[in-house]
Amino acid sequence: MTNEEQWWKKSLSQIAASVIFYTTIPLPYLDKLDFSQVARFAPAIGLMIGGILGLFDTAINYLGMPVLTRSALVVSVWIAITGGLHLDGVMDTADGLAVGDKDRRLSVMADSATGAFGAMAAIALLLLKTTALTDIHQNRWLVLMAACGWGRWGQILAIAQYPYLKLTGKGAFHKEAIRSYFDCLPGLLLLSCLSGLEILIDKRLFFALGMTLAGSAIAFVTGAWFNHKLGGHTGDTYGAVVEWTEALFLCVLTAL
């Protein structure tokens, strides 16, 4: 096998591992997958998830379904595709931040039982996503791709920028894969190209620039806020960064 063939085989294996890790999309059985680098592909997986949601939204729109019902179904499929992976992080993080004693927050977040604050956070987040989508009427497929992409880019930024608070855990291997800001550049370039696609389609320069600025700014602020509250990040807060970046991004786009 040539070096080029080995490179392609390794790349496809890593992409498959990323799809399996971040989604519930069924793939054929693949042996000896390496999950250590999945975080690097997170923005691309986000674009894929957003693309699937956009196709689903377009399909049910042709059936004449009202926009509110359509948005609720899209958000439901959104949860199904990700298996609630990041939403679980939202709930655990909210339960931890509700504890006044900072030394107990990580232990509360590690508890698999969902408390009242976690449930309220999940409800608020899903309401924000659904209502914001209802108010967005043009190019919803593009908006969904951008939201999913920027959410996962925010995760990479948080991994690169802040310390990991546990010696082990479901997010520890991400920290080993993402070591510097240079690891964030491919995702940033990919999402900037998505905004360029908006310019080509609708010639809306202001909206395209707004998507890029809003996505990057919200991703940065969300990760910084959790770091301020906890002094670092965990696997749960990585998931929370994804979800809150997605929701707040959609809310900002309703104003644009």
Any idea which residue has 């809306």 for tokens? 204
82, 22 contact by CB (below 8 A): yes
Closest C-alpha to 156, from 76, 37, 256: 37
Region 193-207 average pLDDT: 81
pLDDT for 85: 92
Structure tokens at 224: 């910084």
Region 176-196 average pLDDT: 90
Helix 116-134 vs helix 235-255: crossing angle, to nearest 10 = 30
Helices (H), the chain: 3-22, 42-62, 67-82, 85-97, 105-110, 116-134, 140-161, 172-177, 185-202, 205-230, 235-255
Q: How far is CA 176 from CA 11, 17, 87, 171, in A?
A: 18, 16, 23, 9
Region 64-92 average pLDDT: 95
Radius of gyration of the chain (CA): 18
Helix 235-255 vs helix 140-161: crossing angle, to nearest 10 = 140
Closest C-alpha to 70, from 24, 127, 124, 130: 130
Rounded to 5 degrees, φ, ψ at 10 are: -65, -45
Region 227-237 average pLDDT: 92
pLDDT for 245: 98
Region 153-171 average pLDDT: 87
Predicted TM-score (pTM) above 0.85:
yes
Q: What is the mean pLDDT of the chain?
A: 90
Q: How far is residue 33's CA from residue 20's CA, in Å, rounded to a whole number?
A: 10
Region 205-217 average pLDDT: 90
Q: Is the pLDDT of residue 3 over 80?
A: no
Residue 245 gets the label, from left (phi > 0), alpha (psi -120 to 50) or beta, of alpha
**How many Å separate Cα 88 from the centre of its chain?**
13
